[in-house]
Chains A and B, each alone.
Chain A
Amino acid sequence: MDLRPAEVTSILKREIENYQGNTKLQGVGTVLTVGDGVARVYGLDDCMMNELLEFAGGVRGVALNLEEDNVGCVLLGDATKVKEGDRVKTTGRIISVPTGPALLGRVVNALGDPLDGKGPLAVTASDYLPIEQPAPNVVEREPVKQPLQTGIKAIDAMIPIGRGQRELVIGDRQTGKTALLIDTIINQKTTGGGDPKNPEQVICIYVAMGQKQSTVVDVVRRLELAGAMPYTIVVSASATDEASMQYLAAYGGCTMGERFRDEGRHVVIMYDDLYKQALAYRQVMLLLRRPPGREAFPGDVFNLHSRLLERAAKLSRDAHKNNPRYKAGGGSLTALPVVETQEGDVSAYIPTNVISITDGQIFLESNLFNSGVRPAVNVGVSVSRVGGSAQIPAMKKIAGGLRINLAQYRELQAFAQFGSDLDKATQSALTRGEKLVELLKQGQYVPVPVEKQIMVIYAGTSGSLDDFPTKKLAEFEKAFLSYVADTHPEVGAGILETKNVSDAAKATLDKAIAAVKKQFVS
């Protein structure tokens, strides 16, 4: 940490000058029992729900259960410092986290304390906002209409995500859920050049809950390598942190995102993952003796996720005119929650809960992953309920038939395994499907800009590649994209500008496909 003594002195001078010396009436209580990260406190007469409490030894806690003769609270620090009979003080503050641009590029814990050793955050008291805030109401919202490009061909073409949407990423372990999120963060660099001051830049927040610390380190390293950290906040409550921190991290991260949303910016927040968050919540609630329900989760585990995901919203242009909370209208907060399934079981408790709350899901399958289809998106069961209206017209036009083509392919594939005699239509559907699946494959950490996605998918759906060897399609894609960029840069620019594909552009692309195919034949 880089601290200059002169600076410290000046801060101390300021603090001593403005020191609030007057004594005030404080609520106090006594610790009755403490253990497993929770404490019961007698007294604390006028304690508020979610109020921050101060224990002996500087340990902080949050009041969660206000009962007839005691207050149940979770400890947010070293529980070994708290003893039975210790005095507990109320602080009069609801648990809150720092927000604002100072957090960009930083790795913080659930309470917003920096973890990256880059020194304290440059924030003031007014930057602290409560972690639980009401979601925007009906009149303050507007329908999702702007696209959030993930840079992943299969998703942007068939399961489009709009700004302000909540799209669940669901799948077993080791199916590329986190990789998908990282690619999405990296791709947001295209929105504003990676400059957080650019109002067009989409801000990214990655909340890691119950993850291995090594995974979090890996994510941060990847983002740094890709130059994505300047517009990203990483909130980490890893598996070693207290269960209370693990479940509060989601709300803290959300508050950080809402600050930008309310200032008219676009934010995408990723909760990785909500299943582990529910487990942490279950642990805390069972220790606080709330009655367990199905799978021993407390009764409000649905609300735990619904109130979090409701805070994702697309604000209307005039949101700031009626509510002083919003500094500007038109901002958005897109949520990409992750749920890990066990053995592909999407009908388990938490997955069905979150599926019902979100506006669609991206289902990643280990069979696909292991057979080399990466990203392993199962297009058949993945949907985006509102994203369609956010897709740019060009993509809609080109990728419209993609989903049906692939569905036919999968159906016929099952048949084709039995018989050998297939009619021509079936055969051509199978070939087309095979080419499309191959074209939708994509490497990790290489998001594809939307105009290039459109060109590649056009090549596939136009049928010009049906006679091209499948194994060489990856090479073709690369050569084709660089050929178009070199010889006809106006095609890509045109798509971006008009958000549409003209017939002239299509003709140019057809010519380019033929030219590049020739290179491979020779």
Chain B
Amino acid sequence: MNTSPVTVRFAGALFELSREKGAAAEIDRDVERIGVEFAEPSVRAYFADARVAHAEKRKHLDLLGASCHALTQNFLRLLADKQRLSILPELAIAYRRFVLRERGAVEGEVESARALSPADLAEIATALTPFFKKQILLTNRVEPALLAGARVVVENRMIDASAQGRLDALRAQMMAARLNSN
């Protein structure tokens, strides 16, 4: 998922502050909650709507942050002051990357033709660890078009071990095959 450099900078500042002030657990939880809120299309649409007055949005933002840590509340107010509310939908994603980096982990996705059991996922994750030298948290997505096998995407890198991928590679190789002139 793409996150703009602005989002990454704000998220980074909040993350570092949460570690310095010893409020890691609370702020992590707050950001996760903001992420859940902003996953809702109606919430996104409301905050992106130019017809809604800025003061109105601020009021709702305060409401949203009411149960949050003081630093999170400050963070939300700062965003409102700086007219940077547009980064909120991506905030949780960017923030989560910082948390994962701290834990020495990366997230990845396994696309497979059939649903994989947690044991399978764990096995794939262990197999991939030497490649990435990090703990890998995998989620599974079923993609029947793969026919068989699996395809792993971790941090802009892909390992394609699906039947469809092999067929594609074979096709590309055959298309590239040149005829001998006789």
A contacts, CB < 8 Å to B: 3, 7, 11-12, 14-16, 19-21, 23-30, 32, 42-45, 68-70, 87, 89, 102, 119-125
Closest to B174 in A: A15
* Cβ B157 vs Cβ A122 within 8 A: no
* Cβ B178 vs Cβ A68 within 8 A: no
> With A and B bound together, what is the CA distance between A119 and B179 in angstroms?
9
A23-B179 CB under 8 A given contacts A15-B174, A69-B2, A69-B4: no
Q: Which of B5, B156, B177, B181 contacts A43 (CB 8 A)?
A: B156
Q: Which of A7, A21, A25 contacts B159 (CB 8 A)?
A: A25
Q: Counting CB contacts under 8 A, is B115 at the interface? A: no
* Cβ B178 vs Cβ A89 within 8 A: no
- Residues 149-182 of B, flagged 1 when their CB comes within 8 A of A and 0 if not, give 0000101111111000110011001101111110
Q: Which of A15, A30, A102 contacts B173 (CB 8 A)?
A: A15
* Cβ A124 vs Cβ B178 within 8 A: yes
Bin the interface of chain B by size: 20 to 34
Closest to B171 in A: A58
Distance to closest chain A CB from B12 (angstroms)? 14
* Cβ A69 vs Cβ B157 within 8 A: no
* Cβ B2 vs Cβ A32 within 8 A: yes
Q: Which of B5, B131, B158, B177 contacts A89 (CB 8 A)?
A: B158
By DSSP majority rule, is chain B's interface helix, strand, loop, or mixed? mixed
* Cβ B179 vs Cβ A102 within 8 A: no
21 CB contacts below 8 A, A to B, read A11-B177, A11-B179, A12-B174, A15-B170, A15-B177, A19-B173, A23-B161, A25-B131, A25-B159, A26-B159, A27-B156, A27-B157, A28-B153, A44-B156, A45-B155, A68-B5, A69-B5, A70-B2, A120-B178, A122-B178, A122-B179
* Cβ A122 vs Cβ B4 within 8 A: no
Interface contact tally, CB-CB below 8 A: 65
**Additional 12 contacts, C-beta under 8 A, given A3-B179, A119-B179, A122-B179:** A12-B174, A15-B174, A19-B173, A20-B173, A23-B160, A24-B159, A25-B159, A26-B157, A27-B156, A43-B156, A87-B158, A122-B180
Residues in B neighbouring A119, C-beta threshold 8 A: 179
> With A and B bound together, what is the CA distance between A45 and B156 in angstroms?
7
> With A and B bound together, what is the CA distance between A20 and B177 in angstroms?
13
Shortest Cβ-Cβ A-B pairs, 6 listed: A122-B181, A43-B156, A42-B2, A28-B158, A45-B156, A23-B161
Residues in A neighbouring B166, C-beta threshold 8 A: 21
Residues in A neighbouring B158, C-beta threshold 8 A: 25-28, 87, 89
Closest to B8 in A: A69
Closest to A47 in B: B156
Distance to closest chain B CB from A454 (angstroms)? 42
Q: Which of B2, B131, B161, B181 contacts A30 (CB 8 A)?
A: B2
Q: Which of B4, B160, B170 contacts A26 (CB 8 A)?
A: B160
Residues in A neighbouring B174, C-beta threshold 8 A: 11-12, 15
> With A and B bound together, what is the CA distance between A309 and B173 in angstroms?
35
Closest to B155 in A: A45
Closest to A43 in B: B156
> With A and B bound together, what is the CA distance between A456 and B174 in angstroms?
58
Cβ < 8 Å to A, chain B residues 59-78: none
Distance to closest chain B CB from A499 (angstroms)? 39
Distance to closest chain A CB from B181 (angstroms)? 3
A19-B170 CB under 8 A given contacts A25-B158, A28-B157: yes
Closest to A54 in B: B172
Residues in B neighbouring A69, C-beta threshold 8 A: 2, 4-5
Residues in B neighbouring A68, C-beta threshold 8 A: 5
Distance to closest chain B CB from A84 (angstroms)? 11
> With A and B bound together, what is the CA distance between A210 and B181 in angstroms?
32
* Cβ B180 vs Cβ A23 within 8 A: no
A7-B2 CB under 8 A given contacts A12-B174, A28-B157: no
B2, B170, B173 — most chain A CB neighbours (10 Å):
B2
